[in-house]
Structure 1
Amino acid sequence: MDRATTPDAVSETVLSVVRPLGFTKVLAGIIPTPGMSMQQQVANVVLHRWPDRWSQRYFSQGYLFEDPTIRRVTTSTEPFLWSELEATCRDDAPAKRVMGEAREFDLGFGFTVPMLTLDGQSAGFSIASDRAELPPHYRGRLQLMAMYAFGRALTMSDEPLPVKLTPREADVLHWIAEGKSDWEIGMILHVSEHTVDKMARQIRAKFGAANRTQAVAQALRQRIIR
């Protein structure tokens, strides 16, 4: 972890540890407060190896404020398996919808570590997959790793490398942050869907981001887009 030089390298280090248990995805960030815009929510993401299509749906639909894992993170400091929330979701239709739709993106089994930042903000670190195993004695080890990885990535996020985008790239990234699809962005900017996808890949490369959500989060933190 100490040798990692980017948040994505931190994510890859985490995944190298948890893949043998069946976990393939990681997400971590500071929990936004109710009323925050989609862009503000995304800007709070610190580690992101989550399906982009699910992130787009999740943030654009305001699922964060219906997600039972987020509620648990803000009310408890104990790590938990998502399966432990089933009883609390039984009579909560929005929460059941969020968890059910997450399974469509191979996010059916997860483990989350609640944390607090130095200034008292709630934060969460999750690993997930369609199926995995987590022996009870691994929980403490993963909690320690989660806290260290989050702190390491948060420090990197506070000192981003400057990135320069062309005006057209900035336009594309702005509309990605608004939750628009490639086809919709193409219609708005009067370019082909293929051109939008190509520019999105160029933007990811400039930020050294593993996916679009990570690129958007970095751009928002650097105030390249608003």
Structure 2
Amino acid sequence: MSRRSLDETLSFIAAIDRAGSPHAVSETVLSVVRPLGFTQVFAGIIPVPGMSAQQQLSNVVLHHWPDQWSRRYFSKGYLFEDPTIQRVTSSTEPFLWSELEASCRDDASAKRVMAEAREFHLGFGFTVPMFTLDGQSAGFSIASDRGELPVHFRRRLQLLAMYSFGRALSLADTPPPVKLTPREADVLQWIAEGKSDWEISRILHVSEHLVDKMARHIRSKLGASNRTQAVAQALRLRIIR
């Protein structure tokens, strides 16, 4: 990295550190990528199949994206048809959206998502796959109707994306506290450690049916669609460790 590039990177990091909101983070990112033609930024944790539109939206971290497109995207479940999401969950290498064209050729659903995105001037994009500390897939994308991205800028943008995403996560509104009973917390802790309902029932001296019932209550309180998601959410909220 040249001295100029290093100085610019350090300046960007300092600006991100000063950002007081996710919106400010987005604006700082766009100040860097606008000269390349990018006008939109979006980042979030990848939801698991079965999540409602509301739950999917709750995973959004940065949103400088056309609102109409977001409403259509989440209400129609496009997230699970989007080829960029499929790539994010299967590879850690950053990519241009144009690199997905060959894999979309025989996938009508994927082609539809990409075609409709172009209606909202999102035809040219670059995505950086990431992982959160609790192992969830995440993606950071910049986009526009047209633009350019020199090869040498990719790695630099990968660093900027990861730093921006981390800062936005730290600035996200803290969700209301989730109150579990001591017994529910015990059940969730044992689920996190991979115990079956039968094993938990033996450990806690309760029926297997009660363990299952409590697990469902826990999922409901955490807004989780399955036990794995409930554990991930509880870890994020430090309800369990």
- The corresponding residue for 1:27 is 42
Identity between Structure 1 and Structure 2 (%): 80
Q: Per-residue displacement from partner, 1:71-128 (whole Å, max 9, x unpaired)?
A: 0000000000000000000000000000000000000000000000000000000000
1:126 pairs with 141, 148, 152, which one? 141
Q: How far apart, in 1, do the equivalents of 2:173 and 2:45 lie?
A: 13
- The corresponding residue for 1:209 is none
Q: CA deviation at 1:157?
A: 1.0
Q: How far apart, in 2, do the equivalents of 1:135 and 1:103 lie?
A: 22
Q: CA deviation at 1:158?
A: 5.1
Q: How far apart, in 2, do the equivalents of 1:57 and 1:158 lie?
A: 25
Q: How far apart, in 1, do the equivalents of 2:143 and 2:35 lie?
A: 13
- The corresponding residue for 2:73 is 58
Tell me the SS of whatever aligns to 1:2: helix
In angstroms, what is the RMSD of aligned CA positions? 1.1
CA shift in 2, pair 1:160/1:9, >3 Å:
farther
Higher Rg of the two aligned structures: 2
> TM-score, length-normalised on structure 1?
0.70
- The corresponding residue for 2:126 is 111
Which amino acid letter does the alignment assign opposite residue 4 of structure 1? A
Q: How far apart, in 1, do the equivalents of 2:127 and 2:28 lie?
A: 17
> TM-score, length-normalised on structure 2?
0.66
Long gaps (5+) in structure 1 = 162-226
Aligned residues: 161
Q: How far apart, in 2, do the equivalents of 1:42 and 1:119 lie?
A: 19
Q: How far apart, in 2, do the equivalents of 1:101 and 1:47 lie?
A: 21
Long gaps (5+) in structure 2 = 1-15, 177-241
Q: Matches of residues 1-226 of structure 1 in structure 2 within 5 Å? A: 1-157=16-172, 159=174
